Amino acid sequence: MQPLPQTPSFRLDGKRALVTGAGRGIGLACAAALAQAGAHVTLAARSLDEIANGAHAICATGGNAEALRLDVNDVVGTACALDGVDPFDILLNNAGTNRPKAFTEVSEEDYDAVLGLNLRAAFFVAQNVARRMIATGRKGSIIHIGSQMGHVGGPRRSLYCASKWGLEGLNKSIALDLAPHGIRSNTIAPTFIETPMTKPFLEDKAFLATVLEKIKLGRLGRVEDLMGAVVFLASDASALMTGTSLIVDGGWTAE
């Protein structure tokens, strides 16, 4: 009898993963998902208390995690901090922010804050991690948390869309540069996910109604909706995927 093909493993045992913006919301959930799949996870953020609590919770449930205080906006400081730890096999570039404003009201400070964290910091974190992967011969996976707003436009979202469209372009280009080294780069592009960052916007009932009208499955996203996606892109199950986007948007961009 002919042997059947075997599903590639979703396990991440023996892998080291770095998650930025890991103190809460999407970052913490994805850190937990990677740990549950067997990875040793380093939770990074500016707030040490949050990531220390997150790492403790992961360890308390049988995972392997540690906290690393990191301000990814500080490119030199971040490079020094990451050079001081063992190299990673997996990066989840998650740190991000948003300042919804009408295009005509956006200030230079708003621009620098959103593009600085969402794109500039993501660029240099990925660069640092990739350099270490190459130097140590690791065939890794770099995953960026993008957005459906990196595929469409939205009112009052000029800054956020610029940063997330930029991230999609960055992702495609670095995928080409890193492919010869066996390093993959992909994005996850979620719809509105219920997190501390989105809560103030979603408390506006009129805004919430417009969001739910666009999400064809009829509900907001939950952090759990992204946990399988990050494990998939980090694992051998997605071994032939690079330079693309996994859109988890409930049908928003299908229309």
- Catalytic positions, written as ranges: 160, 164
Q: Looking at residue 131, what DSSP letter applies? A: H
Whole-number Å distance between alpha carbons of 108 and 171: 25
Sheet of 40-45, strands arranged across: 64-69, 40-45, 16-20, 90-93, 141-145, 184-190, 245-248
Q: Which SS3 state, helix, strand or coil, does residue 219 take? A: coil
From 223, 222, 224, 211, select the one nearest 252 (Cα to Cα). 211
The structure tokens 């960026």 sit at 144
Q: Do 118 and 167 contact (CB within 8 A), yes or no? A: yes
Between the CA of residue 68 and those of 1, 13, 21, 124, 161, what are the distances in Å? 52, 21, 11, 17, 29
Residue at 54: amino acid letter: G
Q: 64: which DSSP letter?
A: E
Residue type, 66: E
Q: Identify whether the C-beta of residue 55 lies closer than 8 Å to the C-beta of residue 101.
A: no
Query: Could you give the CA distance from residue 159 to residue 118 in angstroms, rounded to a whole number?
Result: 10
CA atoms of 95 and 73, how far apart (whole Å): 10
Q: What is the largest CA-CA distance in the chain?
A: 68
